[in-house]
Structures are given as C-alpha cells and as structure tokens.
Chain A
Amino acid sequence: MKMKVLNGAANVGLFLAHALALEIEAAERYTELADSMEAHNNVEVAKLFRDLSTYSAKHAEEVKQIAREFGALPKVAPWEFQWDATTESPEAAAFENAHYLMKPHHALKMALLSEHQGNNYYASVAAETKDPEVARLAREFAEEEAGHVALVRKWLERYPAPKDDWSDDPDPPNISD
C-alpha cells in the first residue's frame, strides 16, 4: 500500500487541484468554526470567522472559475496532496486550537497563521515550478494571500491579547469540587 504524493508545482492541472482544495477547505473551516462559536454563544468570534469565511469563499470561487476555464482537473485523494509543511491544506485553521471562550485576538491569530501558510504554499510553488503558467498563477495567488495577511494584521491591531484569565469560566462544564 505504497502511497503516492502529487506535487502541485508539477503542472497547471495539479496546481489548480491543490489551489481549489486549499481555498475550499479554508472557507469551509472558517464556516465550521463560526457555526461552532454560534452554538456556544460566542457571537463576536463567530462573526469574525464568518467574515473570514466570506473572503475565502470569494477566493475559492475565483480559483474555481480559473479551473473551469482550464477543464477537468486531475482527481487527487486527500492524502495525495503535497502540502509539505502541514498535514491538512495549509490555510485550513486547526480545529484543535479553538476554545469556546476564545477572544477575537485568538481567532485572528489562528487566521493569521492560516493565511501565512497559504501565502507560503503559493510562494514555494512559484519558486519551485518549472512551468511558467504555474509560476504566474502561483505568484498571483500568493499576492492575494499576502493581502489577506495584511488585512488580518490590521484587524489584530484592534484586538490586543486578552488577560491571562480569559478562559476562566464561573460555571465550568467540568465540575471537580
């Protein structure tokens, strides 16, 4: 059961398959985090994740449009994507870093990491590929991600790190006394 791994820098089809998975998973993950925060009445963070999802979904739709013009994409199983630095697609915020009492600062730090990883992925493909069309697209997508990084940084200025007791819950789910 030798596993194959497919490199997004190899050709346009594989690059677009990677880009589409990256953008769709990023948008879906932000939506799932927003839903999860709403279920726990963390309205402020839910709205932030919802806004981030809107931006990512817009980019996903742009990539999908480019893919449509390209034609049918190669079928790549989830474990065949070559992401290098991450086990999941690089822009999908990690579920395990969420907390029901998290503050906007934490949500934006999560988003900043994700957008950085997305930017790094595209930049590394642009540097590695020998295909000029892949290089052009990768540079373009990297620039878009750099814009997202700048946007999240700007939002972070409004939300400084909270006090250390941010996760204290006067009515915790785990009653130990």
Chain B
Amino acid sequence: MDTHLTDDVVGPLPGDYKSDVKPIWCPGCGDYSVLAGITRAMATMGLERKDTVVVSGIGCSSRIPAYTSVYGYHTVHGRSLAVASGVKLARPELNVLIFGGDGDGFSIGGNHFLHACRRNVDMTYIVMDNQVYGMTKGQASPTTEADWCESKLTPEGPGVNPIQPVALALACGANFVARGFSNNPNEVARLIVEGVRHPGFSVIHILSPCVTFRPEQRNWKSTVHPYGREPTDDPNEAMRAVLEDDGFGLGIFLAGNRRPFQPESAATRSIAQIEEGFAV
C-alpha cells in the first residue's frame, strides 16, 4: 500500500483518505458530513494508512470502510466492536476506529457495546445516530422516540423509551465520551482527534439526520446547542451533568483516566500452530 501522503504545500489532505468508491447515501444524509469530518481528522493527525484500520457493522453508516483509503473491515451486524477489540489486542500499534449506527450499535450490538465500554480497549467508536433503521426503509431503532408513528411496523410508535447513548456509555465505563452533530464536520473532526488521542475506549455520539425516513431531523440544526461545560475526568460528575442534558448538547462530557485494557503477555502459539489445530 502506498504510504506517501505528503503534499508539497500543506501535508496530508482529507482527500488522501477517501477511496475511489462513491457513497450511495441519500443526498442530504448527515453521513456525508461525518465522512468529511473523519477524513479531516485523519489528515490532521497525519495517520499512516498502513497503520490505520476502520471496522464497521451493518447499516448505512457502516459503509464507511468502503469510502476510506485505510484498511477496512466491514463485519457482521452488531459485531464490529468484538472484531475491532481483537484487532487492537493482537496489533496494539494500529489505530483502530469503529463506525456504525444506532441500530447496529445499541440493538444488535448492544451487548458488545456494554462490554467494550467496560473493557476499555484503546480504540475509538463513532456512532452515527439517526434514530431509525434507514437501510431497511425506516423502522424504529433503539434511539427512536416512544411516540414516533411513521413506520408501518409500529403505527402507534414503539411505545418504549429510547436508549440514551451518552449516559449508557458513561454508566458502562467508557473512558472518553462526546457528542457532535454532522452539520459541523470540523467539530466532528476535533472530537474524533481528541477521542483517538485519548487512551482507552472513546465513544463519540454523532447526531446524523436521516433526511429520507426522518425528514424532520433537518431541524436538528436549530435544536442542538453547546454542552456548555468543560470536560471532566470524573465519570460521576459527567453522569450527573448528562442526566440534565436534553440529548442535543454538543461537546466532550468525559475525558477519564482509566487505564486501557491491553494484555502484556506475548502470544504463546504462532498462527501456523493455531491453523494446524483446524486442519481436517
């Protein structure tokens, strides 16, 4: 893989981290701006493509690995965090970023999310939350409001309260927790850079409108607001503040100081020896 990304004038550019695959998201989708934020963050950090892996599950936002020029692994539904943990534990020198949506992360992959926060492997999880399953044409997701009635599957609304991703991440032990909004890709880039540089498991919750199945989310631009507090390293303080938040506060809630999980023992068997065990 070519690792020469240095521009003669300004160094690596965001475009260096885009692949030749053209996104097929709906025009107006927030994920376009998140992709812009991701590539700007990568260029700012000057990440080596050969040392960077993006891992995803299934869904619109999980298409990110195809659209970036670093190593990518488009895994199975809800399992991106398990695969990414394996990558990071086996190759701790790599930069590991995980991308997915609210359904992939908090429903199908909900159990993995809890334990990824608890385990605190040094990697960064970016969740693009549009409060709907967009790829399957608009069903309620774990973050959909209880009274959202626009899906034929739940004509009277899902009837249960939505998960609060930021509060859940804090409760389960994530070491860095932030929220951004897709309309501001430069701020998204900043949060990603801060998350990648912070040791341990970082969760970045990005509000990313689905303009096709949740067109009312175009109004989020007038709903979001700065979180308004300096980040704390105390999870209890962060949780108390988040419980007063309306779900639209943007910023860094927690930059904690838990030690990342990274086994120190070296491998005891080679890949060839492991493969021998599977020989038929």
Contact = CB atoms under 8 A, between A and B. Distances in A.
A88 interface: yes
Contacts of A1: 194, 230-231, 252, 255
Interface stretch (A74-82, A112-120, A123-131, A143-151): A74-82
A88 B10 CA distance: 18
A39 interface: yes
A174 B27 contact: no
Given A68-B8, A81-B186, 10 more contacts: A1-B255, A24-B13, A36-B32, A67-B10, A95-B30, A96-B33, A96-B183, A99-B27, A174-B212, A175-B137
Nearest to B22: A35
Chain A to chain B: the 7 pairs with minimum beta-carbon distance, closest first? A98-B27, A78-B186, A79-B190, A35-B22, A95-B32, A78-B40, A87-B184
Contacts of A99: 27-28, 211
B274 interface: no
B253 to A, nearest CB: 12
23 contacts: A1-B252, A17-B10, A20-B9, A20-B10, A24-B13, A24-B15, A36-B27, A36-B32, A39-B24, A40-B26, A75-B10, A78-B185, A87-B183, A87-B186, A88-B186, A95-B28, A95-B30, A95-B32, A96-B183, A98-B28, A99-B211, A173-B26, A174-B138
A19 to B, nearest CB: 11
Contacts of B194: 1
Contacts of A67: 9-10
Interface of B: 8-11, 13-15, 22-30, 32-33, 36-37, 40-41, 44, 137-138, 150, 152, 182-187, 189-190, 193-194, 209, 211-213, 218, 221, 230-231, 252, 255
Interface in A68-123: 68, 72-73, 75, 77-79, 81, 87-88, 94-100, 102
B193 A77 contact: yes
A97 B27 CA distance: 8
A51 interface: no
A32 B32 contact: yes
A72 to B, nearest CB: 7
B36 to A, nearest CB: 8
A26 interface: no
Contact of B44 (A24, A32, A73, A77): A77
A79 B8 contact: no
Interface in A142-168: none
A87 B36 CA distance: 13
Indicate the member of A40, A81, A100, A174 with the most B CB atoms within 10 Å: A174
Indicate the member of A33, A64, A68, A77 with the most B CB atoms within 10 Å: A77
Contacts of A37: 27
A28 B27 contact: no
Given A96-B211, A174-B138, A75 B11 contact: yes
